[in-house]
Amino acid sequence: MIALIALVLVVAGTALVVHSLSTSRDAPRDMAGNPVQFEPGNSPAPSTIERMQVQDTDSGRLRVPSVGLDVPLGSMLAVDNVINPPSFTQAYWVRNVGVAPADASSGTVFVVSHSVSGGRAPGNYLLNVGKGTSTVNAGDLISVDGHDYIAQSWRAISKKQLPAAQDLWDPVPGRLVLITCLEQPDGNSPDNLVVVAQLR
């Protein structure tokens, strides 16, 4: 089924922290409480968020001790072949792609999060904006809902090329694929950062 689904992760670099007195109190917030604004055309519509069937805290936590990341782990559905997490303060496993964290040994778990230009979201912990690299190194521990993985590799991949990266979407027992946007110093993020880990 994965081979038939073209997924695009539209996250992180499409959002920025705004410092304005006119910012709505209802605006989404990053982990530091700063208001976050999607770039025009990238904010999911309320009907899309409803179709995501978001469960905010059903699956424990995402932890990457080497980079100080420890956030709630919710779950969501990809909608119209797009994965766009609804929050800037937690990570999500994708229920209609791969397997649940509880079934980690039987397939690949896909976890997604935002990073934010000029702010702090879960994905910001995973990347070095100035160098365009991952802060997660091979051998680092990644815990998803109490299941421990060891990071194997990372790569930057164009958002346009991600859907065709079949090696990432193939069901591999005991594998974790962690995806966020790879911020650039100018605030753009045409690429995703993908960290691949294996169940310990």
Residue 7: pLDDT band by 50, 70, 90 thresholds?
very low
| DSSP codes of every residue in the chain | -GGG---EE--GGGEEE---TT--TTS-BBTTS-BEEEPTT-SPPHHHHHHTT-BTTSS-EEEEGGGTEEEEEEEE--BTTEE--S-BS-EEEETTSS--GGGGGGSEEEEE----BTS--GGGGGEETTTTEES--TT-EEEETTEEEEEEEEEEEETTTGGG-HHHHS--TTEEEEEEEE--TTS---EEEEEEEEE-
- What's the average model confidence in pLDDT over 114-119? 90
Number of domains in the chain: 1
For residue 123, give Cα distances in angstroms to 80, 86, 142, 176, 180.
23, 13, 13, 15, 5
How confident is the model over 164-182, as pLDDT tens digits? 999 999 999 999 999 999 9
pLDDT of 21 over the 70 cut: no
Q: Which of 4, 195, 17 is nearest to 113 (CA)?
A: 195
Give residue 9's pLDDT: 46
Choose the weakest-confidence range: 33-42, 43-52, 138-147, 182-191: 33-42
Whether the predicted pLDDT of 4 surpasses 50: no
| Measured distance CA(35)–CA(27) in Å, rounded | 6
Q: Rounded to whole angstroms, what are the CA distances from 15 to 69, 149, 163?
A: 20, 29, 21
- pLDDT for res 15: 54
Q: Which domain holds residue 51?
A: 2-199
Range in 35-39, 59-63, 96-100, 130-134 with the lowest mean pLDDT: 35-39
Q: What percent of the chain has pLDDT over 70?
A: 85
Average pLDDT over residues 155-161: 94
The mean pLDDT value for 108-118 works out to 94
Confidence (pLDDT) at 81: 86
How many other C-beta atoms are found inside a 10 Å radius of the C-beta of residue 105? 10
Confidence class of residue 28 from pLDDT cuts 50, 70 and 90? confident
Query: In this structure, what CATH number is given to the domain that contains residue 183?
Result: 2.40.260.10
How many residues in total does the chain contain? 200
C-alpha to C-alpha distance for 57 and 119, rounded to whole angstroms: 22
> Which pLDDT score, from 0 to 100, does residue 59 have?
66
This prediction has a pTM of 0.88
Closest CA to 180 of 115, 119, 118: 115
Largest CA distance in the chain: 50
Calpha distance 77→119 (Å, rounded): 25
Q: What is the mean pLDDT of the chain?
A: 86
Say what the pLDDT of residue 192 is.
94
What confidence score (pLDDT) does residue 92 get? 96
Interatomic CA distance for residues 175 and 128, integer angstroms: 24
